[in-house]
Amino acid sequence: MSSRSSGTEPRCWAGRATVLGGQVEAWRRAEEIREFCSAVRARADGGSPSAEELGWLRWAKAYAARIDPLGSALRMPSDPPANRRSLRDHLKGDLYAHPWPFDNHGRWKLPGEGSARR
């Protein structure tokens, strides 16, 4: 696998890195919660925790399972939407010679259509 950039990777990498960082943080948090639950059970010194503690531990374990990204299949995050800067960088062109093809509402606008009202 090459470590060279294809030119479009940095824009995608930033978004993907953010998602990955969030997944790692959620995974670590889930692991910390599970460790905490184990410590609470160990603290009981052979006895069992109170009914209130058991309810709290059940909830905490369920919460850890819910926030753990490894509890389900991981997917590649979608790429961020295109914007003027990313298109300019990708096309390496003059956006004034090739105007932005979307109107103010994000709808595709054909060249020469002007600002017709709908």
pLDDT digits (tens, 9 = 90+) for 31-77: 999 999 999 888 877 778 888 999 999 999 999 999 999 999 999 88
pTM of the full predicted structure? 0.59
* pLDDT at residue number 61: 97
Q: DSSP assignment of 41-99, as one string?
A: HHHTTTSPPPHHHHHHHHHHHHHHHHH-GGGS---PPPPPPP-HHHHHHHHTS-TTTS-
* pLDDT at residue number 11: 64
* pLDDT at residue number 1: 45
